[in-house]
Amino acid sequence: MEQLNTTSGTIAPLKKNLQVGLPVEAAFSLFTDGMTTWWPLKSHSVGEDRAEKCVFEGHLGGRIYEVIVGGKEVDWGRVTAWDPPHAVSFTWFPGREEDTAQVVEITFQDTGSGTRIRLLHHGWELLGERAEEFRKGYDTGWDYVLGEYMQRAAG
């Protein structure tokens, strides 16, 4: 885990890099429009066993949310930048108040043989005293979630 940067008072962002064998358009579409096909709801959602699906509204200002049995919707974030198939950014606050949101930025780069995906998750300071704890949990959490994405991308 990266350490707190005491000179600026900020917590280092999480960075994840992965490669998939899909063309950039397909990789972007799977991550956004296809999120409900690969996101591990049973382990990485607010409703867990009661979560039915997640939705990624693919446009600027779009919601990212889960639907729990009975139709209850729980917001996870909001799309803040939309540049298909190259980049998407969104706030991230599943199960929390929106004013504690971090920012997730994802870029998709054509490598000729597939797509390189870079994820940057930052803004931990809004979580106050629990910021380092949350960051540590998301470090392993994103590894698991992105592993599910990679399995789906592999077909």
Q: What is the pLDDT of residue 10?
A: 86
Q: Characterise 79 by phi-psi region: left (phi > 0), alpha (psi -120 to 50), beta (else).
A: beta
- Cα gap 146→155, rounded to integer Å: 14
pLDDT in tens, the chain (155 residues): 333 333 345 899 999 999 999 999 999 999 999 999 999 999 999 999 999 999 999 999 999 999 999 999 999 999 999 999 999 999 999 999 999 999 999 999 999 999 999 999 999 999 999 999 999 999 999 999 999 999 999 98
SS3 for 138? helix
What is residue 3's predicted lDDT score, i.e. its pLDDT? Answer: 39
- Tell me the domains of the chain and their CATH numbers: 14-154 (3.30.530.20)
Q: Is 52 left (phi over 0), alpha (psi -120 to 50) or beta?
A: alpha
Bridge partners of 109, per DSSP, are 116
Which residue in 73, 37, 79 sits closest to 58, CA to CA? Answer: 79
DSSP 8-state class, residue 152? H
Paired with 91 in beta bridges are 103
123: left (phi over 0), alpha (psi -120 to 50) or beta: left
Report CA dihedral (12, 28, 108, 124) to the nearest 10 degrees.
-10
Angstrom distances, CA of residue 12 to CA of 65, 75, 102, 106, 120? 26, 25, 12, 17, 10
H-helix segments, 1-130: 24-31, 35-38
- What is the pLDDT, as a whole number, of residue 17? 98
Which pLDDT value is given to residue 9?
54
Which run of H or of E encompasses 11?
Answer: none
pTM: 0.92
